[in-house]
Structure 1
Amino acid sequence: MSEFELVLARREPVAEDVLRLTLVTESGDPVPAWEPGAHIDLLLADGLERQYSLCGDPADRSALMVAVLREPSGRGGSAFVHDRLTEGTKVPARGPRNNFALAPASRYLFIAGGIGITPLLPMVAEADARGAEWRLVYGGRRRASMAFADDLAAKYGDRVEVYPEDETGLLPLPRLLGAPVAETAVYCCGPEPLLAAAELGCASWEPGTLHIERFSPRTDLGTGPARSFEVELAVSGRTLTVPESKSILEVVEAAGIPVLSSCQEGTCGTCETEVLDGVPEHRDSLLTDEERAAGETMMICVSRSSGPRLVLEL
């Protein structure tokens, strides 16, 4: 996916430690088209690349909007945005890419935790425009830290339930997910404990009901002993050995074969690669159980081979 350049037109606080960035093209041309659930990669500095969910209006091609939470224990991306990214700065970008698309459904239950509200904003607007039944439950540590909460409540009324933890406690997931509701799609984004609880709560629901987007790797990834294996690159016509201590991505890049990648944690989907033969050992945080079982693609930044050999479309 090719890079393009954006310019930061505006940065504004929308909650405690949350900035909304409005990004435009320098020429004034329309920004790339996107749909609810999409994210873009922002290349903030040398070696500092981050993915942010788009939270504006897909019909507005004049700008792209993202919201960035300052993460004190993060890897530097949010600190760069909050402390060094100024209006007028050019920001290289890639995308948009959508691993969290809004599927057709009769009704929707949206569950947001903290900054996880961002990809759900355009989803709520789309569901409302479709005339679908929907409900949003939104939790955060405290009201002041919950971006867009007041706007959502003012616009949509009692279809939005806001749960600041210091006032109401945790989101009432047992009540929300205790009994499966037919023809309902559940969309959830937020911190890992919330996502894990949603997965547990939806265990008895129809398969495919729950849709999740993670900002960080899940904690229960397969982390068994790493074994070396061979990877045959069908397009390049080369066979490489992946040692125990390296990922497929590292080995392929070291061989001089260009591969797009970004998070290198198995969460963004940039390095998703088609598997032509062999059985992947999935260690990503993105593919569904059905996609893992099919074994048609894999994230080569973290996943490995279950057997001695893989054949990839590289």
Structure 2
Amino acid sequence: MDEQLTAFLSYLEREYQYSENTIAAYRNDLSQFQEYLGQGAAGPVEWPAISTEDIAGYLDYMKHKEQPYASSTIARKVAAIKSFFNYLNSQAITAENPTLEIDSPKVKKRLPQTLAFLDVERLLDAPAVNDSPKNLRDATLLNVLYETGMRVTEVVSLQLEDVDLEHAQLSSPTRQGDARDIPLEEETRALLTRYLAEGRPHLAKGSGEQALFLNHRGEKLTRQGLWLIIKGYARQAGLSADVTPHTLRHSFAVHRLGRGSKLEDIQRLLGHANISTTQIYAQMEAADEE
């Protein structure tokens, strides 16, 4: 990868604090564009020499290659290219921005998948709450996911210090760097209380790990581990839908709106920086009423 691409990725990480996965996606998309431009050419790509026609040719290539990219994939790659040339232009590496007249393909937005309220109840009831530390953990975990609408990364990142049982709330960092307080329903607070007293100590095995949710080895529960837990209980509950942690997050938002919560409150609870991201749930509720 050439110097400009490396500098751009460092800029994204430094200025926007993008995750490793996001940086990797930019790296992959721009490297593929670089490979396309370099076909048959000698030496590295000279970015100031790249024209609007070059980029348009790449779009045409992606649409008509032997196995064409989906419009959503093309739109993502175009967005990466636009961001890169905006950066080059801002650094005076290019005199013109060749992406200004490039339009991204229209992508039909698919509405997020949600569960009916009764299906959510079946899922939450799947781990029978008994004396098993694992079942206590799983019942608490599923309730926290649904009753707070938290992202899977946020849930597995919760620490013991983030739990405030007295005020019935969890504290979770946002992508903007601050923290948001998320209220807990009484049933979820009661489950957390019991899990912390009767379940987690057995899972911790004296490890000193401070993560709230632990695996059977006393280590922090991983994203993959959480995903597998949900999949297992979805099957046990007889749910045919492809249930994921985000399914519960989407269901939380739609069900809250259905119970009369304001869109701004849903935005705050979900940790969305822009309310336009949250508005899709209002569209879903309207579609259900038609």
Q: What TM-score comes out, normalization by structure 1 length?
A: 0.20
The structure with the larger Rg is: 2
Which structure shows the bigger proportion of residues in helix conformation?
2
Q: What TM-score comes out, normalization by structure 2 length?
A: 0.21
Q: For CA contacts below 8 A with separation 6 or more, give which structure has more relative contact order.
A: 2
